[in-house]
Amino acid sequence: MYKRLSRDYVCRLGQPIINRVDTSIFRKTYFAHCMQCDFCHDSCCQAGVDIDIENVRRLKRHGKKLQAYVQYPRKQWFDDTFLPEPEYPGGQYTRTRVVDGTCVFLNREGRGCLIHAYCLEQGIDYHKLKPLMCCIFPLTFGHGALVPSYEINYDDLACIGPGPNLYQAVRGDLAYYFGDEFVREMDEVERISLERYRKRMARKQKSSSQRQELHVIS
Ligand code: SF4
Ligand code: SF4
């Protein structure tokens, strides 16, 4: 179910603009503590990721220093073709390359994203260089709506299961991109949505117990 927000929230990068939310992001859960995960093998990075043209430019400006972290040469970092997409910052995007079976920026000798590691070690806020789609994963967006990623909807993420809900896991990143007012409104949408869900479940449970009782009596 989609819930319309009270206004448009513009990402600090200019796009996307969010004004709706799929409320299933408050009920679906996953492990979320990526660097403590000992079973996923960073499988969510296997396909590479969409990256907007402005992010590519920012990464290229750090190319020389970042190269010391990435095993593959700079010319292999991104697909050559840029496609138009008005909801991405800069209006165009490409993808990070998949090399030897996973994203070119994945650490082959350990765990995690090398862009993230580079930012931490250089004292750079990782939001400035790590792709937006990675920072808010496993959420994504489309047509103004914040929604679960494809991997969640198609049960294709190794870490689906106990943990925080999709929204709570990336709440801090959403605050960075869309502001404190956005997450305050989202918190309220979450509270109402979960309350309604609990009531619906309680009603379902009650009517199922009543049906069972009738079945025993008859
Ligand atoms: S999101 Fe899941 S699959 Fe991806 S790195 Fe984190 S724990 Fe692993
Ligand atoms: S950029 Fe980093 S987080 Fe994103 S898919 Fe590649 S390795 Fe994973």
Report whether 92 contacts 85 (CB < 8 A). yes
Domain map (residue ranges) of the chain: 2-217
Q: Which residue has the tokens 């859960």?
A: 29
Q: What is the tens place of the pLDDT at every residue in 135-172?
A: 999 999 999 999 999 999 999 999 999 999 999 999 99
Ligand with the closest atom to the CA of 138: 1
Q: What is the tens place of the pLDDT at every residue in 60-74?
A: 999 999 999 999 999
Ligand 1 site-directed mutation target among 28, 29, 31, most atoms within 8 Å of CB: 31
pTM above 0.85, yes or no: yes
Report whether 158 contacts 45 (CB < 8 A). no
- Which residues form the pocket of ligand 2, taking CB atoms under 6 Å from any ligand atom? 45, 48-49, 96, 103, 105-106, 113, 115, 131, 134
Phi-psi map region of 12: left, alpha, beta (phi>0 left; psi -120 to 50 alpha): alpha
Distance from C-alpha of 93 to C-alpha of 55, rounded to nearest angstrom:
9
In this structure, what DSSP letter does residue 106 have? B
